[in-house]
Amino acid sequence: MAALLQLAGVNVQFAGLQALSNVDLSARGGEIKALIGPNGAGKTTLFNAISGYVPIAAGSISLNGSAIHGLAPHAIAARGVRRTFQNGGLFPELTGLENVLAGLHARIDASFAGILFGTRASRAAERDAVARARRLLDGLGVSHLADVQVNTMSGGQQRTIEIVRAVAAEPPLLLLDEPAVGLAPPVRAQLVELIRRLAGETGIAVLLIEHAIDLVMAAADVIAVFNGGAKIAEGPPAAIRTDPAVLEAYLGHA
Amino acid sequence: MKPFVHLLRPCIAIVAYALATTASAADTAGITDTAIKIGVMAPLTGSGSSYSKAEIGLDAYYKWVNDQGGVNGRKIETVLEDYACDSTKGIAAVKKLIHQDKVFMLHGNSCSAVAMAIKPVVLEAGIPWVIAHAANGAISSPATKNIFHGVPVGKTMGLAMGRFVMTKPGVAKVAVIQHTDDWAKSYCGPAMEFLASQSIKPVVEVALERGQTDATAQTLRIKQANPDFVIACLYEAETAIFLKDAKKFGLNAPVMGTAGTDLENTLKRVGDLDTVANYFVPHMYADNLDGPRLKRFVDILKKYYPSESVTAFSLISMGGGAAVVEALKRSGRDLSREKFIAELDKTRDFDTGVLAGRITWTAADRDGVKEVGIAGFVSGKPTVLKAWGQRL
Amino acid sequence: MNGQTPQHALAHRALGTRVFYAAPLLALVIPLFANPYTQFIVNLTLVYVLVTVGFNLVLGNLGQLAFANTALFGIGAYTAAILMAHAGWPFWAAIPPAGAAGAAAGFLASVTALRGIRNYYLAIVTLAFGELLRWSYIHGEALSGGTDGLTVRHADFFGIALESETARFYVFLLIVTVIVKAVSNLMRSKIGRAIVAIRDNELATASLAIPTGRYIVLAFTLSGFVVGIAGSLFAVLIGQVIPESFGLIELILHFAMVLVGGLGSLFGSVLGALALTALPEFFRPFPGLYEMFFGGLLIVFLLIQPRGLSALCAKRWPALRDRYYRER
Amino acid sequence: MFFLQLALSGLAQGAIYALVALSMCVVYRATTVVNFGHGDLVMAGAFVVYLLVVLAGLPFPASAIAAVALLFILGALIEIGLIERIKAGPHIGFALMCIAVGYLLRGAARAVWGREVLPMPRVFDFPPVMLGELVVTADALVIFSAVGVLLMLFFGLFYRTSAGRIMQAVCQSERGAALVGINVRAFHGVMWGVGAAMGAIGGVLVAPLTLLHPGLGAGFLIKGFAAMTLGGFGSLGGAVAGGLLLGVAEQWVGGYVSTKLIDITAYLVIILVLALRPSGLFGQAVAERV
């Protein structure tokens, strides 16, 4: 299957600092690719480049064959890219249900006038969206969080809501930025199971930034290793475990 | 909205009924056997709070009248309402006085814009209103059934200022410095109209904002035009600043101020006689503020408001108070608004004792005080002048 | 129970909406008991409901510290007054242009916000914009009547002469109810969600394919429209429009109403307008102390109940909590 | 001559704006809170000095220093008692708290002197100095020297002494400063005190010039904003330069264009600067971190 996402020779600079140098990367539907590497290796910068928050100095990023680098974040998202944020991207004052509904924004077809005058069509579109959101929350066993404000939720609950929000619009490409941070072991296992189900059943392409090696080994089909802004290795978990370059980067000796 | 459709008929009935009933104020509202209620509106807060000295003086006067036995066996009960020189609060205050406190008459207001806003409300209620301080003539003219001006209107002041300027021999070039608000316009407007009728157009018109602490640009522009006379419609603080800057930059043309300032306090603020030697103001009072003929009224103020300092605004409304008490006395025991308005209209050349001019109200002319003197420093003492260089 | 709303929640919510519809209907009887003074205060409250609802869209929902509300209020009032006084338009015809003028000014403010001018910068530039407008009212003699302003007489609303406070009340009640219902519809939809999402986390909002720029412009323009219409009602209620009414002191009142009512809460806007229009009338027995009381009240509120009256009510009656979605 | 005379008066006026802007900037840099009620602190300074000179009969210099000290305490109390307590609340609450405090001060002054317009007795009574045709008044000289000394004192303290270095540290990063053991809360109180005290000095210098009424402070707030924006929001040096430039600009606009425009020069400056160069003359653009 042709690659859904293709990065070719991507360079990113921050006032002289070479954050990403000549990165090639791809993502395929149904495949979970984990990105690992020490802090500051450029993993989150990569996500920011893909989702349009950071301009790229050179190279190209394309989705389904057409270039998306240079587009505004909301335009890239509209083409089917969803992401989570390292330090939380939820809306604290809104409830779990309202956050998920925000994720469904683009799929609710109700016009300004329709909403203003409360036409039957716009109410129907809204009702369907709410029902869909409640089903998604229920699917992950967090329907009790529907009417709870996000700023009163625990870290784990917030992580789960953020993932539900991201997958609500069934995006072909999902970027998960350290989703397991602060989760208790049983919840982490549930998370791995969810990611596998998303990739397997719905054919979503998943890029996963994660430090917990055990989680990476359990969930990832392919692992790409980054260090100092460059991709130093890519391959199945077994190969990466013994790759000299990776050991060098991580442990300082072969 | 389906469940509410059956409520439609009763709603329409309520609305129709409410629209039909109109509130009417009784002709003898605000009068009891022992008291006459008078509503006094004053700008106690807000930007115009220094004007409220006029209404405080008026309140002291009515309290003094009560101590002299009141009017025909009734005491005057004043209801003080603060409207902060703001139209919204002004309308709320006047409606409260008319429809809730149900006062007999209104005697108040210092801010012209607010007075104009409440004018329709007063006309509709038909309640007698004697304006205590606001200078805009359009409030009481063209004459209406129930509105009287208790102080000289801006037109009268403006004419007096304009005439006095014309009495200076060889006056040809006049400069104007004023604030950009309706208070200043109610003085400078009529003054410039009069000068225009004498075919004198101002050589330069300059604006000075309230709260400015420096008038260099204004003074230098006026000095460039080298006028024979300067008309300055400014409040006390800004007048002092302008006079100091004029002396500083050698602008020694005479300056015609407004009744918003008085000679004694301006001298105190400017600090030296030389700066105010050529400063003139319309003088509404029968004497200088510290003169013998006003002592009685200053004592009245001090009696009921001991900590109150005496300025040009303090005694100005007492004149109107005297005329009101006079008309109330003539209206006798079975007092009504109708009767009281008729008595007010009989006021002819009434000497209030505090104002220089006499009050005359007729059904056709409610301006009240017509003549206003001009005062200036003559050999260091404030004196009333008939014309340039001529004592009264 | 696959994703259906729990039954008690639905019934619970019905109570919230029924309260919303009952309020205007119950209000119909007010003129039967009110004298012209209290009726005027009620009418003034209706005007300030629109002012607060409009201001809350930008201050509470969008979370932008824009101090342009008195400017929008003034533009609406002056547009209506000019059309009625100079061009002789009837009141009902002057309302939409007043709203449009407010919306245009709101749009201008949103453009500055889009240029990255935010929080304190935005507060200062909108403050300067408001004072600049007030200066133009003073010096635009021919159109705006300068310091004497404009008088607005014989307002007529489709044949109803708005001479008495009662007549004004019913027309204002109709207009305010319609607009508040429209704003409620907009806020309890994907549009409202987009606006409050921008407040909470503008970057994350863009990641959900929401064009944040468009909704910032929409929020400001909508706010300008609502406050502009409030300006036209104000012009008819006071019968006079002068520059003095739209200065900094007025802005403090608008700001206080939004915060005392509840930042970002539509229900709170109504509460805030009611509380701070009626309250000054209770200070009347202490003439001269209004400013000190008002300043003191704000401080106490900020210390004890920063989330406003609506948060207080929502804690007591959860059905009244502001929601940004609809299920019926 | 006309040109120079306007500039000279403009500088005297600008010195007051610079002082007010600097005091607001100090509070902003130290606590990221813009004091929207700052104008009323200037007014409070003027009233306190009036109280001490006229009612308590103290000589002007002594009462000026006492007024500044009192305002320092008031500023610190406002911060510790009120601002610190609403740190958790909505960010917009700070702006309203400052406005409410200012309004309370104005109301209190109104309740006591509402109807009065109080004259300060003449303090610096020597005649104006003539530089050729240029007139330099006593008041202008005093304001120049006072503001000049103050600025040297302030910038000396801020950049030279250890207390100054602490101030700079906290301005850059509160959390960092707290980590190295600086008592940030007390520091905020002190900086609000410094801001209020400098604002009071502005009031003290203006008091003899104009007359005292509760609404005195309102104008200074907007002028302070214009000066800060012109000089670059948050830049201390910029606030001073902005203030002086604004003062001169107002006089030139009044002198050459129209005196009606003096009032809105500040507003035009704010809008033009933010439209053309949001970071002002000396400020740095605020980068938005993802």
Does residue B85 form part of some domain? yes
Does residue B356 form part of some domain? yes
**Is the pLDDT reported for residue A18 higher than 80?**
yes
**Cβ(A133)–Cβ(A97) under 8 Å?**
yes
Supply the pLDDT for residue D124.
Answer: 65
Distance CA B103, CA A96 (A): 59
Mean pLDDT of B356-362: 91
Structure tokens at C284: 């009347």
Query: Are residues C37 and B99, on separate chains, in Cβ contact within 8 Å?
Result: yes
Better-scored residue on pLDDT, C46 or D186: C46
C35: chain B residues, CB-CB within 8 Å: 23, 99-100
Nearest chain B alpha carbon to C47: B88
DSSP conformational letter for B350: B
**Contact status of B241 with chain D (Cβ, < 8 Å):** yes
Structure tokens at B384: 């009333």
Cα separation values, C105 from B328, C102, C110, Å: 54, 5, 9
Kindly report, residue by residue over B369-387, the tens digit of the pLDDT.
Answer: 888 889 898 888 888 888 8
**Contact status of B24 with chain C (Cβ, < 8 Å):** no
Least confident of B251-260, C46-55, C266-275: B251-260
* Distance to chain C for B11, nearest Cα, Å: 7
**Is the pLDDT reported for residue B290 higher than 60?**
yes
Does residue B195 form part of some domain? yes
Residue among A77, A97, A138 minimizing CB distance to C207: A77
DSSP states of chain D as a string?
A: -HHHHHHHHHHHHHHHHHHHHHHHHHHHHHHS---TTHHHHHHHHHHHHHIIIIIS---HHHHHHHHHHHHHHHHHHIIIIIIGGGTTS-THHHHHHHHHHHHHHHHHHHHHHTT--BPPPP---SPPEEETTEEE-HHHHHHHHHHHHHHHHHHHHHHHSHHHHHHHHHHH-HHHHHHTT--HHHHHHHHHHHHHHHHHHHHHHHTTTS-B-GGGGHHHHHHHHHHHHHH-TT-HHHHHHHHHHHHHHHHHIIIII-GGGHHHHHHHHHHHHHHH-TTTTT--------
Task: Please tell me whether residues B279 and B320 are part of one structural domain.
Answer: no
Cα separation values, B161 from B198, B207, B269, C145, Å: 13, 19, 23, 25
Kindly report, residue by residue over B322-347, the tens digit of the pLDDT.
Answer: 999 999 999 998 899 999 999 999 99
Nearest chain B alpha carbon to D2: B220
Query: Are residues C206 and A112, on separate chains, in Cβ contact within 8 Å?
Result: no
Q: How confident is the model at residue B296 (pLDDT cuts 50, 70, 90)?
A: very high
**Is D in contact with B (3 or more beta carbon pairs below 8 Å)?**
yes
pLDDT above 70 covers a percentage of chain A that reads 97
Distance CA B274, CA D46 (A): 27
Supply the pLDDT for residue D75.
Answer: 92
In angstroms, how far is CA B15 from the centroid of its own chain? 42
Structure tokens at A68: 């998306």
Distance CA A116, CA D224 (A): 43
Residue among B206, B211, B268 minimizing CB distance to D259: B206
Mean pLDDT of A76-85: 94
Kindly report, residue by residue over D61-90, the tens digit of the pLDDT.
Answer: 888 899 999 999 999 999 999 988 888 777
Beta-bridge partner residues of C166 = none
Task: Please tell me whether residues B137 and B165 are part of one structural domain.
Answer: no
Does residue B5 form part of some domain? no
Distance CA B352, CA B324 (A): 10
A contact residues 136-195, partner D, Cβ 8 Å cutoff:
none
Most B CBs within 10 Å: which of D4, D5, D112, D211, as the mutation test of the B interface?
Answer: D211
**Cβ(B230)–Cβ(B177) under 8 Å?**
yes
**Is the pLDDT reported for residue C320 higher than 60?**
yes
Torsion angle of the four alpha carbons D7, D13, D19, D25, in this order, in degrees rounded to the nearest 10? -80
Task: Please tell me whether residues B44 and B138 are part of one structural domain.
Answer: yes
Supply the pLDDT for residue B175.
Answer: 95
Mention every residue, 6+ apart, whose C-beta is less than 8 A from residue B238.
B179, B208, B210, B212, B215
- Mean of the per-residue pLDDT values of chain D: 84
Phi, psi of B69 (to 5 degrees): 105, 0
Helices (H) and strands (E) in chain A, counts: 10, 10
b/e map C123-155, b = 16+ CB within 10 Å: bbbbbbbbbbbbbebbbeeeebbbbbbbbbeeb
- Taking CB atoms and an 8 Å cut-off, how many pairs form between chains A and C? 125
Supply the pLDDT for residue C17.
Answer: 67
Supply the pLDDT for residue B299.
Answer: 95
* Distance to chain A for D290, nearest Cα, Å: 7
**Contact status of A54 with chain D (Cβ, < 8 Å):** yes
Task: Please tell me whether residues B102 and B244 are part of one structural domain.
Answer: no
Mention every residue, 6+ apart, whose C-beta is less than 8 A from residue D257.
none
**Cβ(B343)–Cβ(B331) under 8 Å?**
yes
Helix (H, G, I), strand (E, B) or coil at B63: helix
Would you kindly state where each structural domain of chain C is located, as residue ranges? 38-260
Q: How confident is the model at residue D287 (pLDDT cuts 50, 70, 90)?
A: very low
Name the burial class of residue D32, with classes exposed (0-12), middle (13-18) and buried (19+) by CB atoms within 10 angstroms of its CB: middle
Query: Are residues C325 and A53, on separate chains, in Cβ contact within 8 Å?
Result: no
D290: chain A residues, CB-CB within 8 Å: 48, 53-54
Distance CA D72, CA D82 (A): 15
**Cβ(B114)–Cβ(B85) under 8 Å?**
yes
Q: How confident is the model at residue C15 (pLDDT cuts 50, 70, 90)?
A: low
**Contact status of D54 with chain B (Cβ, < 8 Å):** no
* Spatial strand order in the sheet of A205-209: A81-83, A173-177, A205-209, A32-36, A222-227, A230-235
Distance CA B119, CA A11 (A): 74
Least confident of A64-68, A227-231, B114-118, D173-177: D173-177
Residue among C139, C149, C288 minimizing CB distance to B180: C139
Q: How confident is the model at residue D288 (pLDDT cuts 50, 70, 90)?
A: very low
**Is the pLDDT reported for residue C33 higher than 90?**
no
**Is C in contact with A (3 or more beta carbon pairs below 8 Å)?**
yes
Query: Are residues D5 and B47, on separate chains, in Cβ contact within 8 Å?
Result: no
Helix (H, G, I), strand (E, B) or coil at B130: strand
- Mean of the per-residue pLDDT values of chain A: 88
- For tokens 């809350």, the residue is C56
Beta-bridge partner residues of A227 = A230
In angstroms, how far is CA C144 from the centroid of its own chain? 24
Distance CA D8, CA D4 (A): 6
Cα separation values, B363 from B28, B145, B146, B147, C212, Å: 21, 8, 9, 10, 66
Task: Please tell me whether residues B378 and B255 are part of one structural domain.
Answer: yes
DSSP conformational letter for B2: G
* Distance to chain A for C264, nearest Cα, Å: 10
Crossing angle of helices D2-31 and D162-172, rounded to 10°: 70
- Could you tell me which chains touch chain C, where touching means 3 or more CB pairs under 8 A? A, B, D
Distance CA B303, CA B60 (A): 8
Nearest chain A alpha carbon to D290: A53
Q: How confident is the model at residue A156 (pLDDT cuts 50, 70, 90)?
A: confident
Distance CA C39, CA A155 (A): 52
Task: Please tell me whether residues B257 and B380 are part of one structural domain.
Answer: yes
- For tokens 């824009």, the residue is C66
Does residue B18 form part of some domain? no
Cα separation values, B314 from B50, B259, B270, B317, C62, Å: 10, 12, 21, 8, 50
Structure tokens at B87: 């139209």
Q: Which candidate, C239, C248, C218, places its Cα nearest to that of C85?
A: C239
Distance CA D202, CA D110 (A): 20
Residue among C124, C135, C290 minimizing CB distance to D229: C124
Q: Domains in chain B: how many in total?
A: 2
Task: Please tell me whether residues B385 and B296 are part of one structural domain.
Answer: no
Q: Which candidate, A229, A209, A227, places its Cα nearest to that of A219?
A: A209
Task: Please tell me whether residues B235 and B249 are part of one structural domain.
Answer: yes
Phi, psi of A57 (to 5 degrees): -80, -35
**Is the pLDDT reported for residue B92 higher than 50?**
yes
**Contact status of B307 with chain C (Cβ, < 8 Å):** no
Task: Please tell me whether residues B209 and B268 are part of one structural domain.
Answer: yes
Kindly report, residue by residue over C79-117, the tens digit of the pLDDT.
Answer: 999 999 999 999 999 999 999 999 999 999 999 888 878
- Mean of the per-residue pLDDT values of chain C: 90
* Distance to chain B for C1, nearest Cα, Å: 29
b/e map B227-243, b = 16+ CB within 10 Å: bbbbbbbbbbbbbbbbb
Query: Are residues B180 and C138, on separate chains, in Cβ contact within 8 Å?
Result: yes
Distance CA C173, CA C167 (A): 10
Name the burial class of residue D285, with classes exposed (0-12), middle (13-18) and buried (19+) by CB atoms within 10 angstroms of its CB: exposed
D110: chain C residues, CB-CB within 8 Å: 288, 291-292
Does residue B139 form part of some domain? yes
* Distance to chain D for C16, nearest Cα, Å: 26
Instruction: CATH number of the domain at B160, please.
Output: 3.40.50.2300
Structural domain range at position B195: 155-283+374-391
**Cβ(B311)–Cβ(B328) under 8 Å?**
no
A48: chain D residues, CB-CB within 8 Å: 290
The structural domains of chain A, ordered by start, are 27-56+68-80+171-254 (3.40.50.300), 91-170 (no CATH)
DSSP conformational letter for B392: -
Most D CBs within 10 Å: which of B58, B210, B214, as the mutation test of the D interface?
Answer: B214
Task: Please tell me whether residues B306 and B351 are part of one structural domain.
Answer: yes
* Distance to chain D for B45, nearest Cα, Å: 7
Task: Please tell me whether residues B323 and B256 are part of one structural domain.
Answer: no
Does residue B91 form part of some domain? yes
**Cβ(A156)–Cβ(A182) under 8 Å?**
yes
Residue among C35, C44, C244 minimizing CB distance to B100: C35
Distance CA B126, CA B120 (A): 10
pTM (predicted TM-score): 0.92
Beta-bridge partner residues of A23 = A10
**Is the pLDDT reported for residue A233 higher than 60?**
yes
Residues in D lying within 8 Å of A, measured between beta carbons: 290
In angstroms, how far is CA D146 from the centroid of its own chain? 13
Residue among A72, A98, A103 minimizing CB distance to C208: A103
Supply the pLDDT for residue C14.
Answer: 66
**Is A in contact with B (3 or more beta carbon pairs below 8 Å)?**
no
* Distance to chain B for C111, nearest Cα, Å: 31
- Could you tell me which chains touch chain B, where touching means 3 or more CB pairs under 8 A? C, D
Distance CA D217, CA D212 (A): 10
Structure tokens at A132: 């869909």
Supply the pLDDT for residue C1.
Answer: 39
* Distance to chain D for A244, nearest Cα, Å: 34
Kindly report, residue by residue over C274-307, the tens digit of the pLDDT.
Answer: 999 998 888 888 877 888 888 999 999 999 988 8
**Cβ(B171)–Cβ(B184) under 8 Å?**
no
Query: Are residues C128 and D100, on separate chains, in Cβ contact within 8 Å?
Result: no
Supply the pLDDT for residue C275.
Answer: 94
